[in-house]
Amino acid sequence: MKTMVITKKWGNSLGVILPAEFVKQNNIQEGEELEIILEKKKNVLKELFGSCKSKKTADQVRKEFRKEFDSKWM
């Protein structure tokens, strides 16, 4: 079972709310003990940044893309 939740302030603590559909699909009852494994959502752009190596500058890539885009769509 896996779902995405967002933390919310609850007094001096943080809490999460399980979406109703997730609760229904997994037959979760009030007062039931659950084990939660935390995994922060990763920022894909941060992981990709710098991983693509190119000898062209960003401006050159932009100009090439624009030229190709204009020839196909304009």
Burial class (CB in 10 A: 0-12, 13-18, 19+), 59: exposed
- The answer to whether residue 12 scores a pLDDT higher than 80 is yes
Q: Considering the entire predicted model, what is its pTM?
A: 0.49
Backbone angles phi, psi at 36, to 5 degrees: -115, 130
Give the tokens for residue 34. Answer: 């659950």
- Polymer length in residues for the chain: 74
Q: Where are the domains of the chain?
A: 8-73
User: Rounded distance, CA 28 to CA 38, Å?
Assistant: 19
Q: Say which residue, 73 or 12, is predicted with more confidence.
A: 12
Residue type, 30: E
User: For 53-67, what is each residue's pLDDT tens digit?
Assistant: 778 888 888 888 888
